[in-house]
Chain A
């Protein structure tokens, strides 16, 4: 049972480069999320999706884009990477909102230099 799978695990980007962080889940969850985790700052929501074809901004969406063409996949695109985007990125999914817990991937550690 794979759960939520994120790739790559680590990546180093130069300023101005672009990349896509991949996320896929096999639990048939409608809700999917992207968070970033900065040291001592907890997790901040970047984007979320309540189903295929529907996405919405979270707390810190600037510099990122997402798409949700299937239930399983929710890629996060970074355009024109900046040092401020150095962070650990977590994808998560849930069955629904309210009292449903989130299931997290193991994260992608991104460094922009």
Chain B
């Protein structure tokens, strides 16, 4: 079935470092792709999304491009902040539900 695989963490970076979290997907059709973020003690929040090939989603300095040729949707940020420390989930919507990756925990140190 349709699924996503994302790099396992944890990832630890220094403030202002460049971030990449890899996500690849398997799908029979053309799903929409999402990145969600989860802060401690909270539910998931939508970070960004892309609905078709070559679309770029962006929000709060984060970006991800829907690459059909490599079936990827990698999350990037040029300069991370301590406040970006959270768990990040890649996800797709094949039908009536949303499938999530296992999550990648990011810790940013001052």
A27 close to B (CB within 8 Å):
no
Q: Within residues 18 to 68 of chain B, which ones have a CB less than 8 A from any CB in chain A?
A: 32, 34, 36, 41-46, 49, 51
Give the distance to chain A from B40, nearest Cβ to Cβ, in Å: 11
- By the criterion CB–CB under 8 Å, are A99 and B45 in contact? no
- By the criterion CB–CB under 8 Å, are A104 and B95 in contact? no
Q: How many interface residues does chain A have, given as a range?
A: 20 to 34
A58 close to B (CB within 8 Å):
yes
**Assuming the A-B contacts A48-B97, A58-B97, A97-B95, are A102 and B46 also in contact, with contact meaning beta carbons closer than 8 angstroms in the complex?**
yes
**Assuming the A-B contacts A45-B97, A58-B97, are A90 and B43 also in contact, with contact meaning beta carbons closer than 8 angstroms in the complex?**
yes
A41 close to B (CB within 8 Å):
yes
Bound-state CA distance A101–B45 (Å) is: 9
Query: Which A residue's beta carbon lies closest to that of B50?
Result: A99
Q: Within residues 19 to 41 of chain A, which ones have a CB less than 8 A from any CB in chain B?
A: 31, 33, 35, 40-41
28 CB contacts below 8 A, A to B, read A31-B96, A40-B102, A42-B100, A42-B102, A43-B44, A43-B89, A43-B100, A45-B98, A45-B99, A48-B96, A50-B96, A56-B96, A58-B97, A90-B43, A92-B43, A92-B44, A97-B97, A98-B32, A98-B51, A99-B32, A99-B49, A101-B34, A101-B46, A101-B49, A102-B44, A105-B43, A106-B43, A107-B43
In the complex, the 7 A-B pairs of residues with the closest C-beta atoms, listed nearest first: A104-B43, A101-B46, A99-B32, A42-B102, A43-B100, A99-B51, A42-B100
